[in-house]
Structure 1
Amino acid sequence: MLKLATTVLGAIVVLVVLVAAAVSGVVSAVFGGGDDSANASQPSQAALSDIPGNYLALYRQAATTCPGLDWSILAAIGKIESNHGQSPLPGVHSGSNYAGAGGPMQFLQSTFNSVVERHHIPPGGSTPPSRYNPHDAIYAAAAYLCESGARDERDIYGAIYAYNHADWYVSQVLNQAAQYKQAAANSGDDARPSPQAQQAVNYAQGQLGLPYMWGGNGPDHGHKGFDCSGLTMAAYQAAGIALPRTAQEQYNAGPQVPKGTPLAPGDLVFYGTPSNIHHVGIYIGAGKMIHAPDFGQPVKVDDYRWKGDDYVRASRPSN
């Protein structure tokens, strides 16, 4: 009976989201997000298909409490941590996992208590607030991300890293968030990646932490690590797309992303000059890339633009 009621509620909420998104100015009124919600992204079809309606509404509502935090980041964390509360693993609905985390957003009890003490959790959840209650857990996650750098988009990467101290985790969250956001034409948002591009990004995520190796093509070729173009070649090889070996050849192969067009996860970003490309990375969204930087530095996530860089352009490999 409870499962049926939850399903019906989810369907009603999804209908509300779809109608609200279609009417100018209604999203803010429905979700109570004030001025900031007007700039929030809209759910993609993938989000509407994957996220239970009651969770989608909570992600959108909670994100409005932190200017600069898009709901898709909360939703991506909810997906990775518990599949939006649907995971049967220990700690999601009661108890804790091996690390002591519990609830749909996988909070340590001490961390959850600390967040609740510092921030007001709106009515609508448990009394007192519980990390197992989706309402309380999602609002607490928004508050934690906000104080960790998400407010006003100061440091989205750092905020996610504070939630789980791992570069691979940040990459997964950013990629999942990109899939949940509906691509907006002529906006500063990242474009949606192709399935092959997403496969390339997923492969690159799996190589985080491997050492830089000049001429390295990675473990699949008997090497301990990668150089920059070896990583990009291997990532797209895993996605069924053949790339040339060197960064210059990859730049020449294109096709180049038109200037002014938003980048998409999986785009290759190049540095140097058009005739002398010396570095390449894989864009993963939110201004970040995965790359093999140089000797002594492992494959890692970095900003794809920085002060004084010699960024040239991006390409979007395809079959």
Structure 2
Amino acid sequence: MGVKRRLLIGAIVALAGVGSAPLDEELSRAAAVAYAAQGSLPYSWGGGHAARPGPSNGTCRGYSGSVTPCPANRTRGFDCSGFTRWVYDLAFGGDVLGPGNTDDHLGRLRRVGVPQPGDLVFYGRPGRTHHVGVYVGGGKMIDAFATGTRIRMDHVSVLHDLLGYYHYRA
């Protein structure tokens, strides 16, 4: 059974257990898919940015991580924006975030004051964002954090420069 199918099955199971699911069905699916993806794939700089959303080998162009030499071009997985792009593709039934980085994705969303599970959490400042995760409630997010980690849950305070929560509605 493929990774995508296993994650969709896991997402359905996780969704059934979400106690305070948002009213928005797609955001509920996004939170469930992200939750089910924990531990599934490694972080890979530039991973998830092939023509279609999904795990891919990354790139060493622009890499400045602590693991050397750069393992991205031989690591199939996701960087943070590649992961959120894939989660939203599964949840919304299409590549709604499109290719690009966190700044490109931020431009397709609207900021919200009170996040719902499935909204995206961005870090940095407008025009200079550097990280994104999928908010799952309780001050937590699922994200592709850094080289040497796998898809995981982090508290939204894991980084010091939280920009805000952003919402997509089809």
- What is the TM-score with the length of structure 1 in the denominator? 0.39
Give CA deviations for 1:180-201 in whole Å, capped at 9, x if unaligned: xxxxxxxxxxxx2411111112
Structure 2 residue ranges without an equivalent (≥5): 1-9, 58-75
Cα deviation, residue 264, structure 1: 0.3
Matched residue, 1:297: 149
SS across alignment from 1:234 = helix
Task: State the Cα RMSD in Å.
Answer: 2.7
SS across alignment from 2:134 = strand
SS across alignment from 1:243 = coil
Matched residue, 1:274: 126
Matched residue, 2:79: 227
Matched residue, 1:204: 34
Rg larger in 1 or in 2? 1
Give me the whole-angstrom Cα distance separating, in 2, the residues matched to 1:200 and 1:212: 19
Counterpart contact for 1:174–1:284, Cα < 8 Å? no
Give me the whole-angstrom Cα distance separating, in 2, the residues matched to 1:280 and 1:174: 25
Give me the whole-angstrom Cα distance separating, in 2, the residues matched to 1:193 and 1:293: 28
Give me the whole-angstrom Cα distance separating, in 2, the residues matched to 1:303 and 1:177: 19
Cα deviation, residue 207, structure 1: 2.1
Counterpart contact for 2:54–2:83, Cα < 8 Å? no
SS across alignment from 2:110 = coil
2:106 is aligned with 1:243: no
Q: 2:138 is matched by which residue type in structure 1?
A: A
Give CA deviations for 1:249-290 in whole Å, capped at 9, x if unaligned: 111221211x3xx21000100000112000000000111000
Matched residue, 1:288: 140
Worse-superposed segment, 308-317 or 265-274: 308-317
- What is the TM-score with the length of structure 2 in the denominator? 0.70
Runs of at least 4 residues off by over 6 Å = none
Change (3 A) 1:276 1:193: farther
Aligned positions, number: 135
Matched residue, 1:178: 20
Cα deviation, residue 206, structure 1: 2.9
SS across alignment from 1:282 = strand
Structure 1 residue ranges without an equivalent (≥5): 1-167, 180-191
Give me the whole-angstrom Cα distance separating, in 1, the residues matched to 2:136 and 2:152: 12
Give me the whole-angstrom Cα distance separating, in 1, the residues matched to 2:46 and 2:17: 28
Counterpart contact for 1:212–1:298, Cα < 8 Å? yes
Give me the whole-angstrom Cα distance separating, in 2, the residues matched to 1:193 and 1:200: 12
Give CA deviations for 1:208-234 in whole Å, capped at 9, x if unaligned: 111000111189455421100000000
Q: 2:37 is matched by which residue type in structure 1?
A: Q
What is the aligned counterpart of 1:264 among 100, 103, 116?
116
Q: Which structure has greater helix proportion?
A: 1
What is the aligned counterpart of 1:312 among 154, 160, 163?
163
2:95 is aligned with 1:253: no
Give me the whole-angstrom Cα distance separating, in 2, the residues matched to 1:313 and 1:174: 27
Matched residue, 1:6: none
Sequence identity of aligned pairs in percent? 34
SS across alignment from 2:18 = helix
Change (3 A) 1:316 1:213: same
Give me the whole-angstrom Cα distance separating, in 1, the residues matched to 2:123 and 2:16: 23
